[in-house]
A and B are shown apart, each in its own frame.
Chain A
């Protein structure tokens, strides 16, 4: 008793083609058996295997093997790739320009201009001398051990990707908060983006764009990092006090006025929490994206792994931790500023 008989009894033999005559070697088991000169023993009915593609193929030629299926998907992807490229390439080209431009500017600005500028920015955002001193210490340390330019590259990529995530994420979040249907269809996509192993993103992207283009890692980072800012914008706007919204309605606000004057300001603490998460996820991804030529500290980590240079890996890993703490502190300080001013 096997799948062969089932196909026969269903009268599908014609459709399946005759398998009995074909003595093709399909699997390692059969190869081994043949090598040992054994006959493949007849299976008892309780040994019947799960009706997987491979097992069904054995009984019926027309059903493809799993490896044919995988090959088919690959061919399909390669087929549409060229057309996708025609559309996506020009659309995403600005991303390359922004990433490269930002890298060029930041790397070529002398350290004695850039570090004070960063400090001024941090001081302006956080209004905390202590935090500015911490940032200064980190930069001095990074520069002292000659990791300054790598760190700046990493920061440059994070800045650009976070900025774009915010620019696209907040409107998407607002749309989601306004319509339950948009929310219901967006949430599975967001879940997927968040749970997909980070390496898996890279596979289709590598085929779509060439590895030397900066937009490749730009897209990978943005797709990964945009999720929290979307989610928390949606949540923040949905959590806006219903009484205040009712008052806004009662005084005759237009929907656009409500959004700008009530909803976004009241959701701002949540949105800022989302931006903080987005920054941290961009940092996580920029390290992995060094596999596809993202510059920065990730390159050193990768070198450490590839060449088993333990010291290089450890030092650059520590630098990444420093950058992570720095970004987290600064963005949380900004969040705190917003919270105290709005309550």
Chain B
């Protein structure tokens, strides 16, 4: 099943400086970020970005700080203007929108969740959550009904008359999430939405997001610098470095077949057993043959769960099923092998970044 492309970014460039257009050609011709800064005094923000984001998917854009990920997400609703390139949403060119159309897009087509929450400090939770419909000019009653619905959904019932400063970080971000959901937009932009939260609350919020996403099937663009987070929630993972896309694919695929030493280093620290799923490492087959299967496992099971099922025994063969039908087999030996990165990194990501 191929999903419809909701947002499409085509050869997007962003250069910061006093006259970006003048140095655009150098960037297109491949001049490095450093020499562009040294010789022309311009900072290359994004270089030749091409991403298709599918409807109903969570597209995660991952990169270290300075990789341009926050710049990229702000192009989608034109909080930042690109130097050149196209951004299509439902085949409408965002770059061609005038002020009123753009405002309409931001009011009802796209909502945003921010790293620093960015709630209105003088408004209570209910009014904050009701921001989007109230900007559109809906009646107060309707705004509050809509907002209440989502406040309950994110688990803040009973806090609607509190002010943001009375809430913890995690609860504030729930308000941020409710605010984005209340706008009823198809697209949600999440700019490091959970990065400012402590690990336990972050996991809670990720689970909340995934649970909501099961029902809502929104197109979500999620920015993060945390690979674990990216692998947990991504349907499509884009890895950004120094303003260009290093690799983009399904997260499982990137983990197993990294195409760049940078990414290899990145993924070498990951608990692969928890992230990899059976379908990514199994041998595809639907014939039963003579093999004797220990038992059935689901194709979406994590390797971790299979290991615990095997109780450490490495000489077992499992039958992989999807909806009760066999789709492949998995030998424990293959499983264990896949746990080791193809080229185990000597240096690690940190030394690479420092150099």
Contact = CB atoms under 8 A, between A and B. Distances in A.
A251 B122 contact: no
Contacts of B106: 249-252
Interface in A59-95: none
Given A251-B183, A252-B106, A266 B118 contact: no
A251 B79 contact: no
Contacts of B102: 252
Return the 7 tightest CB-CB contacts between A and B, nearest first. Answer: A252-B106, A252-B107, A247-B118, A342-B122, A250-B112, A243-B118, A252-B103
Contact of B79 (A246, A266, A268): A246
B172 interface: no
Contacts, number: 62
B151 interface: no
A253 interface: yes
Contacts of A22: none
Provide the main secondary structure of the chain A interface: helix
B166 to A, nearest CB: 9
Interface residues of B, number: 28
Given A244-B118, A250-B112, A251-B179, 18 more contacts: A241-B118, A243-B116, A243-B118, A244-B119, A246-B114, A250-B79, A250-B106, A250-B110, A250-B111, A252-B102, A252-B106, A252-B132, A252-B135, A262-B120, A266-B120, A342-B121, A343-B121, A343-B122
Instruction: Using C-beta atoms within 8 Å of the partner chain, give the interface range for chain A.
Output: 20 to 34
B165 interface: yes
From A243, A250, A266, A341, name the one whose CB has the most chain B CB atoms within 10 angstroms: A250
Provide the main secondary structure of the chain B interface: mixed
Interface string A237-281: 000010110110111111001000110011010000000000000
A268 B121 CA distance: 12
Contact of A261 (B120, B121, B189): B120
A271 B105 CA distance: 34
B135 A257 contact: yes
B163 interface: yes
B79 A252 contact: no
B4 interface: no
A268 B179 CA distance: 24
B131 interface: yes
Contacts of A244: 118-121
A247 B114 contact: yes
16 contacts: A243-B114, A243-B118, A244-B118, A244-B120, A247-B112, A247-B118, A247-B119, A249-B79, A252-B102, A252-B103, A252-B104, A265-B120, A266-B120, A266-B122, A342-B122, A343-B163
A176 B189 CA distance: 33
A84 B44 CA distance: 57
B77 interface: yes
A331 B114 CA distance: 36
Interface in A329-343: 341-343
Contacts of A341: 122
A262 B121 CA distance: 9
Nearest to B106: A252
Contacts of B103: 252, 254
B114 A251 contact: no
Nearest to B107: A252
A211 B122 CA distance: 47
A265 B122 CA distance: 7
A266 B135 contact: no
Nearest to B164: A343
A244 B79 CA distance: 13
